[in-house]
Amino acid sequence: MLKTELKHLKPQVHTFKEEMILNMGPQHPSTHGVLNFLVVTDGEVIHQALPNVGYLHRGIEKLAEQTPYTTFIPFTDRIDYLAAMFANHVYVLAVENLADIEVPERAQFLRVIACELNRIASHLISTGALALDIGASTPFVHWIRERECINDIMESICGARLTYSYMRVGGVSQDINEQIADDIYKFLDHFEPIIDEYNRLISFNEIFIKRLANVAIISPVDAVNFGLVGPNLRGSGIEMDIRRTISYSVYDQFDFNIPIGKGFKGSLGDCYDRYFVRVLEMTESCSIIRQALSQIPKGDIKAKVKRKLKIKENECYTCVESARGEMGMYLLSDGSDRPYRLKIKTGSFTAMSIVEKVSQGLMVADLIALIGSLDVVAPEIDR
């Protein structure tokens, strides 16, 4: 009788849901700087990941109010230590727009050359560190080697390897000679084939692809709605590049492509697309540098600007295409020799807004891939 009754009993399955709250950072090696993520997990599955920023806030925007226009440039280097040249560039452009200063054409070309070299150097760290984060250490060493070559060139151009202070209101601090131009050409001749070698090493590696393809997909609609910029926006298939859409400086004189995500190895807008867009952008930067070196005109490298520059009451917003996308500065003048207000917009800060949505349902290990694919730099978030 007992055996007969047992046959008709339905097994009761008990599901236990136990969430755990973890702190990832600020000392976690895979958070790309002093960042904190409050991660709510159920086992290995993420229910929520909340970015908690502000650990590196230094009040740069407030310091601008106490610093004359022409002496604030070294502060801009600290906004993004991997791509300081773009912060230099956008600040001097904003001051030049307010003061109606015309920059010599040779200086414009020198700015483009320096910025595109810096874009390559930044993308080398971004793509190499992403591979390192998910377990591939060799590619990062290869890219550090190439970045050191760029650092050597930057040192010969402006005397610094990381925080450049190369831009000046009205131009640049130093010119390049034939030897530096030859060094740049030699680097490009060496580096362009290395990109193909790097792709064979890691970009087309089956394990690497499986770690990134179809992971943390950001749709084109979400990319726009969350305000993503730069490679993160273009990785979702949106062809938006300030060098082309606004065409500041002398970028309208160069022929270059704008790489966008296409679902290269998985779905449109996944981690792999954001990664590979940056790899393709390095090739385009090489092309821009070659064109700039071949077309650079002779002439002055700096306009005549008063040391104590006073600007009449006015305001402007100026932006450039940084390695992490749109970097903009809103500058407000009250007629004195220093800004009344400076507000900085960065790509890393906007990228943080989408982490909470995209991370839901990911594995903990995939959160590392997401953060690495967004290429965030902590000082650029906090300022």
> Residue ranges of the domains in the chain?
20-382
- Exposed/middle/buried for residue 234 (C-beta within 10 Å: 0-12, 13-18, 19+): buried
Residue 3 pLDDT greater than 60, yes or no: no
Range of 30-34, 187-191, 358-362 with top mean pLDDT: 187-191
- The confidence score (pLDDT) of residue 7 equals 45
To which residue do tokens 């950072």 refer? 25
Is residue 171's pLDDT more than 80? yes
Backbone phi and psi for residue 172, each to the nearest 5 degrees, phi listed first: -130, 165
Which residues have CB under 8 Å from 287's CB, separation 6+? 254, 255, 256
Taking each helix axis from N to C end, the angle separating 138-158 and 178-198, rounded to the nearest 10 degrees, works out to: 170
CA 352, CA 347: separation in Å to the nearest integer?
9
Q: How many residues make up the chain in this entry?
A: 383
Residue 81 pLDDT level (bands cut at 50, 70, 90): confident
Secondary structure element (H or E) that encloses residue 301, with its range: none
pLDDT exceeds 80 at position 27:
no
Lowest-confidence pick of 192-201, 273-282, 338-347, 373-382: 373-382
CA 139-325-337 angle, 5° bins: 125
Question: Looking at residue 211, what is its pLDDT?
Answer: 92
pLDDT, position 51: 86
pLDDT of residue 366 exceeding 80, the answer is yes
In 3D space, the residue among 125, 50, 80 whose CA is nearest the CA of residue 325 turns out to be 80
Q: What is the mean pLDDT of residues 248-255?
A: 91
Out of 33-37, 213-217, 283-287, 342-346, least confident range: 33-37
Q: Which amino acid is at 238?
A: I
Q: How many Cα atoms sit within 13 Å of 243 on the Cβ side? A: 25
Give dist(CA 181, CA 52) in Å, integer: 44
Examine the pLDDT at 8 and tell me if it is beyond 80. no
Is a pLDDT exceeding 60 seen at residue 10?
Answer: no
What are φ and ψ of residue 21, in 5° steps?
-105, 120
Q: Mean of the per-residue pLDDT values for the chain? A: 88
Neighbours of 303 (CB within 10 A): 15
User: What's the mean pLDDT in 219-248?
Assistant: 92
Q: Nearest CA to 293 among 322, 257, 254, 329?
A: 254
Q: What is the pLDDT of residues 128-143, one digit of tens each?
A: 999 998 888 898 999 9
Q: Is the pLDDT of residue 259 over 90?
A: yes
pLDDT value, residue 365:
87
Highest CATH level, class, for 20-382: mainly alpha
pLDDT exceeds cutoff 80 at 15: no
Say if residue 381's pLDDT is above 60: yes
